[in-house]
A and B are shown apart, each in its own frame.
Chain A
Amino acid sequence: MSSSPTNVAHQFDDAVQQRAASTLGMWVFLVTEMMMFGGLFAAYVLYRSMYAEGFAEASNHLDAMVGAMNTLVLLGSSLTMALAVRSAQLGARAGTVAGLLATIVLGCVFLGVKAYEYGHKFEEHLVPGPFFIFAGSQAKPAELFFSLYFAMTGLHALHMVIGVAVLGTLTWMAARNRFSADYHTPVEIGGLYWHFVDIVWIYLFPLLYLLGRH
């Protein structure tokens, strides 16, 4: 099957140009995503520079080992995503579906662990607001830290939920034989999104969980 004309929209010369345009478009979207998360990272840098001690103390109330295990789960999901893309490029439908399903499962495990962590924070009165309790002189900076913790990990988790929905759609399309070695751009584009969300967590993990360990 040569690159079938039905897969190339009429504004493109050929499949190569179409794929390059899709990739570029996705990266431009990811730049806007970098800016959205960038605003929260800027707030984090600013307040951490002002309240370094309080941030380190508050960070120790997060479980670094749970965070590290969840990091490994997410890295594993990036591997299965890359394997799904590879299978799609080789035109292997079963491999694509299996890779996407594994990615969805690992993504859901990550979200489950996140929900468990959030639950613990409620029990420990570490959720900012009227019920926030933090012993010592660093209560206000610690509340600021946990505001940023919930905003950053919450926005990240929202991206994961959207990612799971995207991957579900891609799995359904792959199972219905919509992709081939000649046309599988949606799987690649979905992969770019998933890997981006992984990279955000790669930065969130040390910045939130590992501040005051020494």
Chain B
Amino acid sequence: MSHATSPHSTALATLILVFLALVGLTGLTVWVAYFDLGAWSTPVALFIATSKALLVVVIFMEMRFGQPITWLAAVSGLLFVALLIGLTMADVVSRGWLGVPGR
């Protein structure tokens, strides 16, 4: 039962297509950086980076064959990082909102 330990493997063509997509998205992120998108430049850059990260996670890291509990672990990482950055920024942004006596 050679398929028992590794239930799936990814086709050669799929791996090469994913690599080409990653190269294309890298070119795209460099190209759009030369346009002044104002407040949108960072969201666009992060959207492209996240698209690339998803390709790597789902295909290269074989998460499309992943068990639900493995997905849970991976997504919990995103949650923790979001909490870390979100709460830090919530503190910084809201510091001036309330008048502090003596300041």
Contacts and interface: CB of A to CB of B under 8 A. Distances in A.
B74 to A, nearest CB: 5
A152 interface: no
Assign chain A's interface to a size class: 35 or more
Given A41-B81, A181-B6, A214-B41, A31 B76 contact: yes
Contacts of A78: 19, 22, 56, 60
Nearest to A180: B2
A131 interface: no
Interface in A31-75: 31, 34-35, 38-39, 41-42, 45-46, 49-50, 64, 68, 71-72, 75
A28 interface: yes
Which residue among B73, B74, B89, B92 has the maximum number of chain A CB atoms within 10 Å of its CB? B73
Interface string B21-54: 0110011011001111100010001101100110
Given A23-B66, A195-B60, A203 B53 contact: yes
A91 B9 CA distance: 11
Given A72-B26, A90-B9, A198 B56 contact: yes
Task: Determine the main DSSP class of B at the interface with A.
Answer: helix
A3 interface: yes
29 contacts: A3-B1, A16-B5, A20-B70, A24-B67, A30-B74, A30-B77, A31-B80, A38-B80, A42-B84, A45-B88, A46-B89, A49-B92, A68-B26, A72-B26, A75-B26, A76-B19, A79-B16, A79-B18, A79-B19, A82-B15, A89-B6, A183-B5, A195-B56, A198-B56, A199-B53, A199-B56, A202-B52, A210-B30, A213-B33
Contact of B15 (A15, A86, A205): A86
B10 interface: yes
Given A27-B73, A31-B73, A210-B30, A42 B85 contact: yes
Interface residues of B, number: 53
Nearest to A41: B85
A214 B9 contact: no
A185 interface: yes
Interface string B61-99: 110001101100110111011001100110010000000
Nearest to A18: B5
